[in-house]
Chains A and B, each alone.
Chain A
Amino acid sequence: MNAISQTIQAAPLLRVSGLNKWYGHVVGCRDVSFELRPGEVLGVVGESGSGKTTLLNCISGKLQPTSGAVEFDTSRFGLTDIYGLNEPDRRRMQREEWGFVHQNPRDGLRMRVSGGANVAEPLMNLGDRNFGRMRQATIEWLERVELDTRRIDDKPRNFSGGMQQRIQVARNLIHGPRLVFMDEPTGGLDVSVQARLLDLLRELVRDLGLAVIIVTHDMAVARLMADRLIVMKGGFVVETGLTDQVLDDPQHPYTQLLVSSVLQI
């Protein structure tokens, strides 16, 4: 009882209520509601077409929902419906307080400028004009994501897929966001590279106390990264709960199928 009343009292970082998205007659996601607390890592799992990415796009301000509200605890306005903000304010909030790690680094990086410039750009967007300080911060972040700092001026295409993904991670964390969205961040990588990136993400999330919403179809990624899970099917949330409880004692038929379909090695 104690814990439940605390949950209600603590101000959420993000509150999604009654979210619906239709593409014409085709359903994207239906009646999704949840809250995210500061420092909490939420995994969204489900198969392709279950509405995971639609949900992520709606709550990250990229795709206007058909109905429902997405409220974020902005530093300037407090808890505010992000689609109620005007375009410049919303973009500023996204730049200052959020990060978004795409599955394909090409979607999250600017391929024509150097890796270092990619990492430094968010600082510049926030008005920093001190080149020496930005370069120093960039070097520190390249080290944090375990990249060779001598390659700061190389173009992204000259890095491997795993390295590109680490550049993207640095670019999305350097400005100190409070909430980071991740869409299958390890999706396109070899397993060994995937393990390294996951460890790195896990450490960074813990050290920085980040709130994260991570979309994945990989149950092992979900178990390693997420505090709690949302399971989606056909646009609906069919089950939610503590990550290990959902994976070890799934209640919904679909979650049971999903968990039992994972191959053991």
Chain B
Amino acid sequence: MQNPPLIVVEDLAKTFVLHNADSATIPVFEGLHLEVGPGECVVLAGESGVGKSTLMRSIYGNYLPTQGAVRVMHDGAYVDITKAAPHSVLDIRRRTLGYVSQFLRVIPRISTLQLVMEPLLENGVDPQEAQERAETLLNALRLPKAHWDLPPATFSGGEQQRVNIARSFIRNYPVMLLDEPTASLDAENRAIVVTLIQQALDRGAALIGIFHDHDVRDAVATRLFEVNQFKAAA
């Protein structure tokens, strides 16, 4: 009881129904249970198509599960993100639940530095301090200074991914979801991301990740979770 889990997934099921393709149904998983506590990094395992990203997106409130609950510890109480009102999902994402996707959703005209500072500004951090922290992180991720004032639309895949990582790690989210954050990075940058992940674990964050890179996985995982064991019958 000392360290209650920060994420509790209960009896979760997800089936996609494609109404415009003869109402094809695609069952993904059912009866899925998962708890993740502070300082844990649970790595979702299984081959491509097994539902790792679907599970992660369901936890983030991006996909709507067919059944079950995803309880997130938010302000000291569990909130079921699958049933929470949109404004409270947004509040959970703003303050509790960080997400690093594989791809950066670029907003035209907004500079890299602004983009990285944004999560802090939204939480009322002083702009000066936000800028300093953004610069520290962009430096650590070795993103050339000449890029900072540019919108990341024209950056390479690896550069965009580092902007994305900076944007998520700038805030110390209690829970973080990492969907292949190192997919398009070289070895040195991967090592930096591993350090960021370990720092997050040290401060007691709960992490759920998808890593195809075995070195990264072995370096950060405290536990593997086979999504396959909850595979829904087709």
Contacts and interface: CB of A to CB of B under 8 A. Distances in A.
Contacts of B19: 252-253, 256-257
B63 A260 contact: no
Contacts of A196: 108-109
Given A195-B108, A195-B109, A248-B57, A228 B64 contact: no
A54 to B, nearest CB: 24
Contacts of A2: 77-79
Interface residues on A, range: 20 to 34
Given A195-B109, A199-B110, A242-B90, A248 B62 contact: yes
Nearest to A39: B87
Nearest to A7: B85
A221 B88 CA distance: 22
B89 interface: yes
A1 B77 CA distance: 10
B101 to A, nearest CB: 11
Interface string A192-204: 0001101100100
Interface string A1-40: 1111011000000000000000000000000000001001
A227 B87 contact: yes
A242 B20 CA distance: 22
Contacts of B79: 1-3
A153 interface: no
Given A2-B79, A249-B63, A199 B86 contact: no
A81 interface: no
Interface string B92-124: 000000000000000111100000000000000
B1 interface: no
A227 B61 CA distance: 13
B64 A245 contact: yes
A251 B64 contact: yes
Contact of A4 (B84, B90, B108, B110): B84
B62 A249 contact: yes
B88 A6 contact: yes
Contacts of B61: 242, 245
A253 B80 contact: no
Given A199-B107, A248-B63, A256-B19, A3 B57 contact: no
A124 interface: no
A7 B87 contact: yes
A195 B106 CA distance: 12
B88 A7 contact: yes
B146 interface: no
B97 to A, nearest CB: 13
B109 A242 contact: no
A227 B91 CA distance: 11
Nearest to A247: B62
Contacts of A260: 20
B109 to A, nearest CB: 5
Interface string A92-107: 0000000000000000
A246 B86 CA distance: 11
A241 interface: yes
Interface of A: 1-4, 6-7, 37, 40, 195-196, 198-199, 202, 224, 227-228, 241-245, 248-249, 251-253, 256-257, 260
21 contacts: A1-B80, A2-B79, A3-B79, A3-B88, A4-B83, A6-B88, A195-B109, A196-B108, A196-B109, A199-B109, A224-B107, A227-B86, A227-B87, A227-B90, A241-B86, A245-B61, A248-B62, A248-B63, A249-B57, A251-B17, A253-B19
